[in-house]
Amino acid sequence: MEVTPIFWIVFFALVIILLVLDLFVFHKKNEAIGVKSALKWSAFWIGLAMLFNLGVWKVLGPVKGLEFFTAYLLEESLSIDNLFVFIMIFSFFKIEPKYQHGVLFWGIIGAIIFRAIFIFAGVALISKFAWIMYVFGAFLLYTGIKMIVKKDDDEFNPENNIIIKAFKKVFPVTTDMSQPKFFIRENGKKVATTFFIALLFIEMSDVLFAVDSVPAVLSVSKDVFIVYTSNIFAILGLRSLYFALSGIMPYFHYLKYALAGILSFIGVKMCVNELIHDGLLSDFFKIGNFTSLGVIVAFLLMSIIASLIWKKK
């Protein structure tokens, strides 16, 4: 069965309803989200994604259902790396926990827009230039290796970011954090607050994250509907996952090696499968989505077990 416009309408209507309920009903007050509440919300978002996955399986068939599940799990696992960045951003700008949910909410809105641009552009490039798969594969392999050799103690300072510096030159920024707003009036002049700078940096980090994650998900499926919906469902649950894991993530210090392994594997998969498609390699070496799913789960489990056994000093 083909994906018709009604599929997109239903999906976007669902996303809009969920976002409106999230901001104006369930989290209309500025309050810190506890681990217990965050775990419940994480279960809700994951359960919702699985219900959508079941609908995809029933309507579009088991192949598309498997593609969605694999893409969702891949995107969710790679999102863990982004959570570390969120922790550092909020810590650096001293954003109180009760205000973090609001900043992340608007970060999600930006991510929904940017992901659409990246995914549609990626699919268009692949359909026009098949060799771009080799470029994506090599880039993911390079990124995976870079993650392994990168030092954990690299200095993190958003103030040194060239975009942040450029923004501050053209728009006044205040250090007043008494009001949890992105823009306020100070001496009769409209100025940006630290909350907006933190949001700006979160948006930039998501764009950089999408450069890795979107090509990786395109290795699972080239169906725009599957790739985009799996991305958005993973992003929607990212805030709850952040609050659920922010207190314990430092203990899982081997996760970065799992993510590096996943990116490297996906990079190899893209290159190998493209060589098979071009008739340069036997079908025997083809890496399917079942294999990808198993490798992703194995990497994550091994990293968590290793983190629990060998504690970081």
* Whole-number Å distance between alpha carbons of 183 and 173: 9
- pLDDT (tens digit, 0 to 9) for every residue of the chain, 313 residues total? 677 888 889 888 988 888 888 766 666 666 667 777 778 888 888 999 999 999 999 999 999 999 999 989 888 877 776 777 777 778 778 888 788 877 888 888 888 888 888 888 887 887 777 777 788 788 888 878 887 776 655 555 666 667 677 777 778 888 777 777 888 888 778 888 888 888 888 887 777 777 777 888 888 888 889 989 998 898 888 877 777 776 666 667 777 788 788 888 888 887 887 888 777 777 777 887 778 778 888 888 888 888 878 766 5
Q: Using alpha carbons only, give the angle 145, 150, 155 rounded to the nearest 5 degrees.
A: 155
Let me know: does 273 contact 287? Beta carbons within 8 Å: yes
CA dist 179 and 177 (Å) reads 5
Q: E strands, 128-247, where?
A: 183-186, 189-192
Interacting residues of 188 by C-beta distance below 8 A, sequence separation 6+: none
In angstroms, rounded to a whole number, what is the distance separating the alpha carbons of residues 313 and 309?
A: 12
Q: What is the pTM of this model?
A: 0.78
CB 234 within 8 A of CB 216: no
Class of residue 165 by CB neighbours under 10 A (exposed 0-12, middle 13-18, buried 19+): exposed
What is the C-alpha separation between 145 and 207, in angstroms, rounded? 20
